[in-house]
């Protein structure tokens, strides 16, 4: 479980071109903020999407969505963001019988949903001209809504516990 902040603007797919080109992009710093959670075994995906900030209210909304969709015991892996680790969230998680497992600081590579965000950025916004924020939002929401259907095989390959292990720890020192 984690949040991603998609920024409306130009995302280049190619860095070199034979001729100089003007690429139309959105102006300003509009952002679409997505708080998401993915079930490791079933690949069910739950989101809370807004253009404001991600805070305690959105975190509580996501916890309720996840609990409403799953009846089995839930352990949710998350980082140490302030909105994820406060009294209101912890009390609601206890009430909903959701175990919160916090990752060590500065270890986003251990959070499986980071792979999902990278995929969504590549699929929905990279190397595309989206003329207005509404089409930008629609592209992201469309990709997110197809996570368990059209993109299921890609999610199966991304959401695995394949992490690099170091057998000879003395080599790192």
Q: Does residue 173 fall inside a structural domain? A: no
Q: Does residue 168 fall inside a structural domain? A: no
Q: Does residue 169 fall inside a structural domain? A: no
Residue 23 has pLDDT above 70, yes or no: no
Q: Does residue 91 fall inside a structural domain? A: yes
Segment 161-173 shows an average pLDDT of 60
Q: Kindly report the backbone phi and psi dihedral angles of residue 21, in degrees, each rounded to the nearest multiple of 5, phi listed first.
A: -130, 145
d(CA 146, CA 103): 28
Domain total in the chain: 1
Q: Does residue 165 fall inside a structural domain? A: no
For residue 145, the domain's CATH number is 3.30.420.10
To 10 degrees, the CA torsion angle through 119, 29, 61, 59?
Answer: 80
Q: How far apart are the first and last CA of the chain?
A: 32
Q: Does residue 30 fall inside a structural domain? A: yes
Q: What is the pLDDT of residues 81-111, one digit of tens each?
A: 889 999 999 999 999 999 999 998 888 788 8
The model's confidence at residue 28, banded by pLDDT at 50, 70 and 90, is low
Angle at CA of residue 21, ends 17 and 22, nearest 5°: 145
Comparing 7-11, 81-85, 131-135, 157-161, the range with the smallest average pLDDT is 7-11
d(CA 151, CA 156): 9
Strands in 2-7's sheet, in edge-to-edge order, are 2-7, 31-38, 45-50
Number of helical H runs and strand E runs in the chain: 5, 5
Q: Does residue 143 fall inside a structural domain? A: yes
Question: Domain residues for 117?
Answer: 2-151
d(CA 7, CA 121): 10
d(CA 134, CA 138): 6
Q: Does residue 29 fall inside a structural domain? A: yes
For 98, other C-beta atoms within 10 Å of its C-beta total 19
- Checking DSSP bridges between strand 2-7 and strand 98-102, what pairing results, if any? unpaired
The model's confidence at residue 131, banded by pLDDT at 50, 70 and 90, is confident
């Amino acid at each position: 479980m984690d949040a991603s902040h998609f920024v409306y603007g130009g995302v280049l797919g190619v860095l070199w071109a034979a001729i100089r080109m003007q690429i139309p992009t959105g102006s300003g710093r509009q952002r679409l903020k997505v708080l998401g959670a993915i079930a490791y075994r079933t690949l069910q995906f739950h989101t809370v999407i807004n253009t404001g900030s991600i805070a305690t209210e959105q975190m509580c909304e996501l916890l309720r969505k996840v609990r409403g969709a799953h009846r089995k015991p839930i352990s949710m892996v998350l980082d140490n963001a302030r909105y994820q680790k406060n009294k209101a969230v912890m009390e609601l998680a206890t009430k909903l019988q959701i175990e919160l497992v916090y990752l060590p600081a500065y270890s986003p590579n251990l959070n499986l949903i980071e792979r999902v965000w990278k995929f969504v950025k590549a699929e929905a916004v990279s190397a595309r001209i989206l003329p207005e924020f509404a089409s930008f939002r629609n592209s992201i929401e469309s990709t997110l809504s197809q996570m368990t259907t059209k993109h299921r095989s890609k999610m199966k390959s991304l959401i695995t516990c394949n992490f690099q292990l170091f057998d000879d720890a003395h080599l790192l020192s």
